[in-house]
Structure 1
């Protein structure tokens, strides 16, 4: 046999390590240029979204945080000032005033009570609808999926106006069939009426979240349960529902954040129910504080209220996520 090693390597007994060829040296720069070009292309596609995200989301948050530490004060040194209004650094005065505001805590209590009623009902109904569509019990699944989701596509103000029409005794087409004296906009029932409005709007949206999670479950699990003799109900209870726990967590977290921002429904209901006032929910109080309907007013107090509501939403969402993580780890 003839050796193919170079003479120097053969003489020393060391294996040969040939250096990179000219083809290898030209491929590496090409790959580097291609990677850089792909990165530039990706950032180019991302740039419009990033600019809009910064403009409509990040910048308003920064402006709101800054405004929360300032108040509008009259310029000049006289009793009533002089000239226009100027900004004055107030530190945490706006936050202290918001925390000491009884109307803020009363509105927050209504929202928490509302969430305790509405969110469980909506999530349970969305899960049931998703399980029914996933089980192929009904025909024309695409039609029902679109029909359940369609209320979410209706603007919130328009939907609230329609429901006010349905709740008004002189106009409602169905109140005449309910027990005499039924008032769906009375102080004791208006929260339930609002819960019905938002449940009708967002159940289809959450149903799609559950449907997406159900479609990701491996079909082998269903085949195994069928071989073991499990019924459809048993399969749904033991396989489907545990496997969509992550989707349920997402749906509940989004619902908590949305509930804290409850605004459209109470604002429209307040137009025909003056007893609700301008501070029935914290977001109504924030808006009316901004436009000067309630006192203290101005951008500073309104920004402080909005930031407090963001903190409350984050704390509630974190508590729920931690509780669910604790249950999952058991």
Structure 2
């Protein structure tokens, strides 16, 4: 009796010896995105890492201008201690927190109201008014500040001169107690239209069937706004608020230019202006780097806290 023999299949030499090449469809996206990744790396990630590294570095210069040598050592948190010991820098952060608490809600409310009005069924020439409200955002911040300064400076401002001549009122837009809100007025004028367009884009994504069903149930414009539009544009409101919180701590051009006509604005009026002064007026780049990291940290904490709060309230 013969025993059955079993045969084993030979390995596929061609399949095991040749490495498969990636398909063009898998490689093409990486080729297309590589320029952006490189630009993002060298213009965003790398500067952040360099600033973070400098914030932990202590630079010692020998000689008046460092001509006898420059040595760098690891400073641990010494630069952060010096930054936090600067009372003017801490005051500038507190000033911007007050600025944001007042200015951001006003701006977001105005942007929301304008968006709802322009997207209402009774709105006339909505395209024209959208462009008109958005136009201030197209004006550079430097020019916007110069334009508004003509309305703030006594002797040039028709508002100040008219109030004094006709009503006997002394209006000082650039005083110590008012200049912060004069800056807030410029920022609100500039960015309300920008935030309005973001909200309008969210409004246009609402299905028309929801409006039709609500009108069948007898809902008026106010009921549509509060029951359908405002709840559904919540992501846009959160996004614009977070952007505004971050932008509040980044104020720089407006106070720097108004400082030429407003003695109440010093060289450390805002956090960014304080870091700029520390770096380029005092040549203390490591402490300025620590200040920049602290500004970014405060912006992150405020944005994160706001997102957590909105997520909790939505539940």
Q: CA deviation at 1:97?
A: 1.0
TM-score normalized with structure 2 length: 0.88
**1:92-119 deviation line (CA, Å, top 9, x unaligned):** 1001111122111111111011111110
Aligned to 1:163: 148
Contact kept? 1:152, 1:202, Cα under 8 Å: yes
Alignment of 1:262-281 (within 5 A): 262-281=251-270
Aligned to 1:54: 41
Q: CA deviation at 1:175?
A: 2.3
Aligned to 2:278: 289
Q: CA deviation at 1:81?
A: 7.9
Aligned to 1:72: 59
Aligned length: 292
Q: CA deviation at 1:156?
A: 1.0
**1:198-251 deviation line (CA, Å, top 9, x unaligned):** 000000110011111111111111111100111111111111011111111111
Q: CA deviation at 1:86?
A: 3.0
> Is the partner of 1:278 in helix, strand or coil?
coil
**1:130-172 deviation line (CA, Å, top 9, x unaligned):** 1011114332222211111111111111111111122111111
Aligned to 2:15: none
Contact kept? 2:155, 2:161, Cα under 8 Å: no
Contact kept? 1:152, 1:201, Cα under 8 Å: yes
Q: Give 5+ residue unaligned stretches, structure 2.
A: 1-19
- Sort the Cα spacing of 1:169 and 1:324 in 2 relative to 1 into closer, same or farther, 3 A: same
**Which of 67, 76, 88 in structure 2 is aligned with 1:91?**
76
**Which of 117, 124, 128 in structure 1 is aligned with 2:109?**
124
Aligned to 1:4: none
Aligned to 1:318: 304
Runs of 4+ in 1 over 3 A off after TM superposition: 79-82
Distance in 1 (alpha carbons) for counterparts of 2:32 and 2:189:
37
Alignment of 1:140-289 (within 5 A): 140-178=125-163, 180-289=169-278
The alignment's C-alpha RMSD in Å is: 1.9
> Is the partner of 1:86 in helix, strand or coil?
strand
Distance in 2 (alpha carbons) for counterparts of 1:96 and 1:125:
40
**Which of 70, 89, 94 in structure 2 is aligned with 1:104?**
89
Distance in 1 (alpha carbons) for counterparts of 2:171 and 2:147:
19
- Sort the Cα spacing of 1:209 and 1:81 in 2 relative to 1 into closer, same or farther, 3 A: closer
**1:56-90 deviation line (CA, Å, top 9, x unaligned):** 111100110111111321238xx998614332321
Distance in 2 (alpha carbons) for counterparts of 1:327 and 1:162:
41
Distance in 1 (alpha carbons) for counterparts of 2:114 and 2:248:
22
Contact kept? 2:52, 2:289, Cα under 8 Å: yes
Contact kept? 1:71, 1:299, Cα under 8 Å: no
Higher CA-based Rg? 1
Distance in 2 (alpha carbons) for counterparts of 1:216 and 1:130:
13
Aligned to 1:12: none
Contact kept? 1:71, 1:298, Cα under 8 Å: no
